[in-house]
Amino acid sequence: MATSSVSKGCFVFKPNFKKRKISVPVEDYFNKGKNESEDSKLRFETYQLIWQQMKSETERLQEELNKNLFDSLIEFLRKSYSGFQKSSRDWGCQIKLREIPTAALILGVNVTDHDLTFRSLTEALQNNVSPYVVSLQAKDCPDMKHFLQKLVSQLMMDCCVDEETKEGSIQVAQKKTHCSMDSLSSWYTNVTRKTDPKMPRKKRTSSSQWQSPPVVLILKDMESFTTKVLQDFIIISSQHLHEFPLILIFGIATSPIIIHRLLPHAVSSLLCIELFQSLSCKEHLTTVLDKLLLTTQFPFKLSEKVLQILTNIFLYHDFSIQNFIKGLQLSLLEHFYSQPLSVLCCNLPEAKRRINFLSDNQCENIRRLPSFRRYVEKQASEKQVALLTNERFLKEEIQSLLENLHVYHSNYFLVLRCLHQFTSSLPKYPLGRQIRELYCTCLEKNIWDSEEYVSALQLLRMLAKDELMTILQKCFKIFKSTSEKQLGSTAKRIEEFLAQFQNLDEAKEEEDTSGSLSKGLQKTDLYHLQKSLLEMKELRRTNKKQTRFEVLREKVVNFIDSLVREYLLPPETQPLHEVVYFTAGHTLREHLNAAPRIALHTALNNPYYYLKAFATVVTAAEKMDADSATSEERNEIIHARFIRAVSELELLGFIKPTKQKTDHVARLTWGGC
C-alpha cells in the first residue's frame, strides 16, 4: 500500500478483503520452513493444551482470590440497599437518606489487571445484587452529556436483553438524543413496575427478592474523571436518589485521598463512603507462581534467567499479573516453537507413548543435547555405543530418564517448600523472604555452595525449641500431602524428630540454663546473633558437653542439609532437562522489554538498517504478488526505491546528511547520494 504523495499526512487504505482470506493455518507457523519431521503440528497442539490448562488454572485462582473482596462488597451493597428500602417515618432518616452509598475500591497501581477484576465483579453483582450494573470509564465521559448518554444506553441495553422487548430498544434510540436524569428515573420506575409481577419467573432468584433493585454504577478509573463531571453527577443523582436508587463503586488505583482531592466537601458530604481493599498484587504473584510453576501439575518449567526476567518486569515495571501471565505464555510458546524435543514436554504417560513414535531426526536431536551427551559420557563404553547407535535402546533409556526427571521434580518442590519453611522465618532473610527468591537461587547453582546458605544454617542451629517444632510440623504436613515412595520415609523421620522433642519435654531437662539461653535468642538482630554465636562457640569450647536438645537440633539441621544436598540439585545436572526447561531469556527480554531508543539509535547510526527495515516493510506489503519477479530483481528494485525515498525525505528536510566523509567503497557503489 503506498501513495504517490510524499507529503506528511494521513491516508485511508481500505483493507483488501480478498487478500486477507488466504490465511495460513496457525500451526503452520511452527514449521520454520524446515521439514515436517519435527512434529511441529503435535508440538503446537501440546502447546495449546498446556496453555489451556494453565489459563483455566489462573482464572480459577483469580476467582478464589477475589472472592473475599467481592463477598464483602456484596454485603455492603445489600446493607445499603436495605437502607433504601427502610422507608420508615423514622426521625432523622429523611436527612440521611440523601447520602449515596459508595464503595471505594482500592485496587493498586496495576491498572492492566483492573479490567478483569471489574468484569468478574460485574458478573458477581449481576448474579447477586441487581441486574442493573453499569461500568463507566473516564475517557468515555468528558462531560455530563456523554456521561449520562453512556449510562442510559448501557442500562437500557441490559434491560432490553433481559426483557426481550423490541419496543424498549426503539425507545432507546429515540432517547439517546436527549437523556437527562429525569428521563432516567422515569425509565427506572417504569421498568421496575413492569418487571415486578414477572420477577418470580426469572432465574435470578436472589435479585428477585428485591422489588426494586438498585442501580450499581462502577467508575473504573476514578483518578482520570474530571472534577466537574463527578461533582455534577453526584449532586444530580443525590436529588433523584429517592426515585432512582443508585450505588456508586469507585475504582481507585492510588489512595483514597484522591476522593478528597477530586470532590469538595459539599459534594463528598453527599456520599456515604466505605473502603474496600483488594489483595496486594505481590501476594497474587506468589500464589500464581505457587500454583503454576512450583508444581508438577504442569510439565513446563522456566529456567532461572527466564523466571528472573519475568519477575523483574513484574516488580520493577508494572506489577501486572496479566502481563506476567502473558510473559509466561510467550515463553511457553517460544519453547514449543524453538525446541523440537518439546514434544516430550507433556504428562509422563503421554510422553512415554510419544517416545515410541520419535523419528530418526528427533533421536539425533536428543543425542545432540548437551545434557544427554554428558550423561552418555558417564556410562560404560558398551552402553555408550548402544545409546549412540541403537534407536530402540535409546528410546528405552529416554523413557527411564524422563521418569527420573519427573521424580526429580516432585521431590524437588517438596524439599524446596520444606527449606522455605525453615529459611522464611530467619532474621534478615539470608535466603529471601519469598519462595520465588529461594527457587531462583536453587535453579541457578548448588545452593549449598552459597554463603547465604551457610549463614542460614548457622542461624538454624540457634532456633528455639518451639519455633523448630512448629516448622517441623509444617514440613511434616508438606511431606505427608504426597505419597512419594522415597520421601515417605522423610515424613517418618520428621515425625520421629517431633516425637523426640516431645519426649524431651516430658523428660524435663535438668539443665535449665541452656533452655533459657536458646529461648532468649528467639528474635534479635544480626549483630546480637553473631555475638551470641561467638559466645556459644566459646561456651562449647570450654565445656564441650551439649545438652540433649542441642544434639537433637544439630541432627535436624544436618538432616535438612542432607535433604537439600540430595534433592535440590540444579536442573542442569539432570539429563534431558532441555525438554521441559525454557532457557532463552534473551529472546524473551527482546520481546517483553523492548528498548525503542536503543533500536532507534542503532538504526540512525547505520543506514543499512534503514534499508533492511524498508525492504521488510515493502516485502510485507507486497507479499502476495511476490511470485511475479525473481528475488534478485526485486531486491534491486527495492534498493532503487529506497534511495529515491531517502533523497525525497532529504529534500523535504526530514533527514539530513552527516558531514562525515563517505567511505570510498560506498561512494563507488552508491555514487552521489
Partner 1 sequence: MPHLENMVLCREPQVSTLQALFGERHHFSFPSIFIYGHTASGKTYVTQTLLKTLELPHVFVNCVECFTSRLLLEQILNKLNHLCSSEDGCSTQVTCETFNDFVRLFKQVTKAESLKDQTVYIVLDKAEYLRDMEANLLPGFLRLQELTDRNVTVLFLSEIVWEKFRPNTGCFEPFVLYFPDYSIGNLQKILSHDHPPEYSADFYAAYINILLGVFYTVCRDLKELRYLAVLNFPKYCEPVVKGEANERDTRKLWRNIEPHLKRAMQTVYLREISSSQWEKLQKDDTDPAQLKGLSAYTHVELPYYSKFILIAAYLASYNPARTDKRFFLKHHGKIKKTNFLKKHEKTSNHLLGPKPFPLDRLLAILYSIVDSRVAPTANIFSQITSLVTLQLLTLVGHDDQLDGPKYKCTVSLDFIRAIAR
Binding site for partner 1 (CB under 8 A): 79-80, 83, 91-92, 95-96, 99, 101-102, 104, 106, 108-109, 111, 143-145, 178, 180-182, 221, 223-224, 232, 235-236, 239, 253-260, 265-266, 268-269, 271-275, 277, 280-282, 313-319, 593-598
Question: Whole-angstrom Cα distance, residue 379 to residue 384?
Answer: 6
Q: Cβ distance 645 to 654 under 8 Å?
A: no
Q: Give me the sheet containing 271-277, strands edge to edge.
A: 133-136, 215-219, 246-252, 100-106, 271-277
How many CB atoms are located within 10 Å of the residue 648 CB? Answer: 12
The grid coordinates listed for 453 are 546458605
Q: Cβ distance 207 to 131 under 8 Å?
A: yes
Question: Closest approach of Cβ 281 to partner 1, in Å?
Answer: 8
Q: Cβ distance 153 to 133 under 8 Å?
A: no
Question: Closest approach of Cβ 117 to partner 1, in Å?
Answer: 16
Nearest to 300 by CA among 271, 260, 341: 341
List CB contacts of 34: < 8 A, sequence separation 6 or more.
none
**Host H or E run for residue 277:** strand 271-277
Identify the residue whose cell numbers are 542432607: 562
Identify the residue whose cell numbers are 466537601: 265
* Burial class of 367 by CB neighbour count within 10 A (0 to 12, 13 to 18, 19+): middle
Question: Whole-angstrom Cα distance, residue 497 to residue 489?
Answer: 12
Pick 17 or 316: Cβ nearer partner 1: 316
Question: Closest approach of Cβ 318 to partner 1, in Å?
Answer: 6
Pick 12 or 257: Cβ nearer partner 1: 257
Pick 273 or 521: Cβ nearer partner 1: 273
Pick 299 or 585: Cβ nearer partner 1: 585
Question: Closest approach of Cβ 548 to partner 1, in Å?
Answer: 45
Question: Closest approach of Cβ 239 to partner 1, in Å?
Answer: 7
Question: Closest approach of Cβ 259 to partner 1, in Å?
Answer: 6
Pick 259 or 560: Cβ nearer partner 1: 259
The partner residues of 273 in beta bridges, in order of sequence, read: 102
List CB contacts of 260: < 8 A, sequence separation 6 or more.
268
Pick 47 or 276: Cβ nearer partner 1: 276
Pick 99 or 484: Cβ nearer partner 1: 99
Pick 252 or 293: Cβ nearer partner 1: 252
Pick 308 or 514: Cβ nearer partner 1: 308
Question: Closest approach of Cβ 268 to partner 1, in Å?
Answer: 5
Question: Closest approach of Cβ 329 to partner 1, in Å?
Answer: 18
| 3-state SS, residue 471 | helix
Q: E-strand spans in 5-163?
A: 100-106, 133-136
Question: Closest approach of Cβ 216 to partner 1, in Å?
Answer: 17
Question: Whole-angstrom Cα distance, residue 282 to residue 177?
Answer: 46
Which of 29-37's residues contact partners 24+ apart within 8 Å by CB, and which partners?
A: 30/336, 30/337, 32/337, 35/361, 37/359, 37/361, 37/362
Q: Which residues of 440-468 are buried (b: 16+ CB within 10 A; e: fewer)?
A: bbbbbeebeebeebebbbebbebbbbebb
List, as one string, the DSSP characters of 362-420: HHHHHHH-HHHHHHHHHS-HHHHHHHHH-HHHHHHHHHHHHHHHHHHHHHHHHHHHHHH
Pick 18 or 265: Cβ nearer partner 1: 265
Pick 274 or 350: Cβ nearer partner 1: 274
Pick 110 or 135: Cβ nearer partner 1: 110
Pick 111 or 330: Cβ nearer partner 1: 111
Question: Closest approach of Cβ 504 to partner 1, in Å?
Answer: 42
Question: Closest approach of Cβ 509 to partner 1, in Å?
Answer: 43
| 3-state SS, residue 130 | coil
The grid coordinates listed for 487 are 520421601
Question: Closest approach of Cβ 209 to partner 1, in Å?
Answer: 21
The partner residues of 456 in beta bridges, in order of sequence, read: none
Nearest to 463 by CA among 390, 405, 533, 360: 533
Question: Closest approach of Cβ 157 to partner 1, in Å?
Answer: 22
CA end-to-end distance (rounded Å), the chain: 26
Pick 330 or 498: Cβ nearer partner 1: 330
Question: Closest approach of Cβ 655 to partner 1, in Å?
Answer: 15
Q: Cβ distance 262 to 225 under 8 Å?
A: yes
| 3-state SS, residue 103 | strand
List CB contacts of 41: < 8 A, sequence separation 6 or more.
27, 30
For the chain, helix, strand, coil in percent to 5 are: 70, 5, 25
Pick 223 or 572: Cβ nearer partner 1: 223
Question: Closest approach of Cβ 116 to partner 1, in Å?
Answer: 17
Question: Closest approach of Cβ 171 to partner 1, in Å?
Answer: 12
Pick 88 or 205: Cβ nearer partner 1: 88
Pick 281 or 460: Cβ nearer partner 1: 281
Question: Closest approach of Cβ 280 to partner 1, in Å?
Answer: 7
Q: Cβ distance 140 to 217 under 8 Å?
A: no
